Amino acid sequence: MDNSTLALLTGNTLLDSKIIGEITFGNLFAAIIIIIATYIIGKFISILVLRILAGKVDPNNSTFLVKLVKWVIYFIGFLIASPFLHIDLSGLMVAGGVVAVALGFASQNTLSNFVAGVLLMFERPVALGDNISVNGTEGYVQEIGLLSTTIRTYEGIFVRIPNDSMFSSDITNYVAHIARRFDYDIGISYSEDADKAIGIIKEVIDKHPYALRSPAPTIYVDLLDASSVNLKVRIWAPSGYWWDVKTELLWKIFKALRTAGVDIPFQQVTLWFGDDAEKMKQLTKGTGFSPNEVLGKSIPSPENANKAVK
């Protein structure tokens, strides 16, 4: 908006009148409009950014970022209004560029972490309280700062991860989805009825308040193992209650199967003692040794030894 346009709109040359130096009423009017518009835009964007970041980052960090955005907008508005006020910023821009380059080299890591922090706040791959895994560290997001993110591990240890590393790493967010699945592998004896065991397990799952009906749990024969029929049990639960449901249901399923008399096999070793003579005779039949000799209670005679060799 130049002076001739303003004069045409008002129908007089009042706006061409000089106030201070080369600054006219038209220049002052245009600068005031730009400053007011900049202020309104700054307030609007600040409120918008504050609403976007609410509950996702630490309040102190979000307040700082909102102020930073606001002052950047104000600075841009000042640059737009400065020509109307006949302010020459060329020297300031050159000096500022030199200072910016020097600061950039001196604090390259800090700037990269800051930029990554801002991008993380807007991209929002994680939020406060989320259960995540990044760079081999698992835990809960305690704080999302402008330079780093703090994670509280399951052991209660606080780990600070620079935002640059955070932004460039693979992040696993365990609670980003509303539901999460977990699996059990349960073995039953070959003499048991698999359909009966599946029915018992399904009944236990259906009684749990946090075991989801949709997606529904699935139970099926997964493997015919060496000593057991293995059932695969897959259950969905709300992400926030996933761990509690997993730990509770396994023990409840075990107790329900045991109460119903369903045999759950386990590895075992049978030991024979000297007083089990009859059983030992069956085991030693045809060897040429007596049960006592097998147990080491006497040294085998040469005749028996020759029989064993033969």
Q: Are residues 43 and 13 in the same domain?
A: yes
**Is 96 part of a structural domain of the chain?**
no
Number of domains in the chain: 4
Return the CATH number at 238: 3.30.70.100
Instruction: Name the residue range of residue 162's domain.
Output: 125-173
Question: Mind giving me the DSSP string for 150-197?
Answer: EEEETTS-EEEEEHHHHHHS-EEETTSSSEEEEEEEEEE-TTS-HHHH
**Is 266 part of a structural domain of the chain?**
no
Is 2 strand, coil or helix? coil
Measure the CA–CA gap between 150 and 157, rounded to whole angstroms: 10
Angle, helices 90-106 vs 108-123, to 10°: value is 90
**Is 211 part of a structural domain of the chain?**
yes
What digits encode the pLDDT tens for the residues 212-229? Answer: 998 999 999 999 988 889
Q: Are residues 208 and 250 in the same domain?
A: yes
Which has the closest alpha carbon to 60: 165, 166, 144, 162?
A: 144
Q: Are residues 13 and 56 in the same domain?
A: yes
Q: Are residues 227 and 290 in the same domain?
A: no
Give bridge partners of residue 144 from the DSSP assignment: 149
Domain boundary among the residues 87, 106, 134 is at: 87
**Is 105 part of a structural domain of the chain?**
no
Q: Which long-range contacts (CB under 8 A, 24 or more apart) does 98-103 make?
A: none
Angle, helices 108-123 vs 59-81, to 10°: value is 100
Measure the CA–CA gap between 263 and 285, rounded to whole angstroms: 33
Domain boundary among the residues 173, 201, 235 is at: 173
**Is 269 part of a structural domain of the chain?**
no
Q: Are residues 145 and 189 in the same domain?
A: no
The token pair at 19 is: 């106030």
Q: Are residues 304 and 230 in the same domain?
A: no
Q: Are residues 150 and 206 in the same domain?
A: no
pTM for this entry: 0.54
**Is 101 part of a structural domain of the chain?**
no
pLDDT in tens, the chain (310 residues): 455 554 444 444 666 666 666 677 777 778 888 888 888 888 888 888 777 777 666 666 677 777 778 888 888 888 887 777 767 666 656 556 655 665 565 456 777 777 887 788 777 888 888 889 998 899 999 888 778 889 999 899 999 999 888 888 889 998 888 899 999 999 999 888 999 999 999 999 999 999 999 899 999 999 998 888 999 999 999 988 889 999 999 999 999 999 999 988 876 665 656 555 555 555 555 545 555 554 554 444 555 545 444 4
Return the CATH number at 138: 2.30.30.60
Q: Are residues 254 and 184 in the same domain?
A: yes
**Is 99 part of a structural domain of the chain?**
no
**Is 294 part of a structural domain of the chain?**
yes
Measure the CA–CA gap between 273 and 111, rounded to whole angstroms: 76
Q: Are residues 147 and 73 in the same domain?
A: no
Domain boundary among the residues 68, 87, 106 is at: 87
What digits encode the pLDDT tens for the residues 167-203? Answer: 888 899 988 888 999 999 999 998 889 999 999 999 9
Q: Are residues 168 and 194 in the same domain?
A: no
Pinpoint the alpha helices (H) of 82-175: 90-106, 108-123, 163-168
Instruction: Report the Cα 131 to chain-centroid distance in Å.
Output: 5
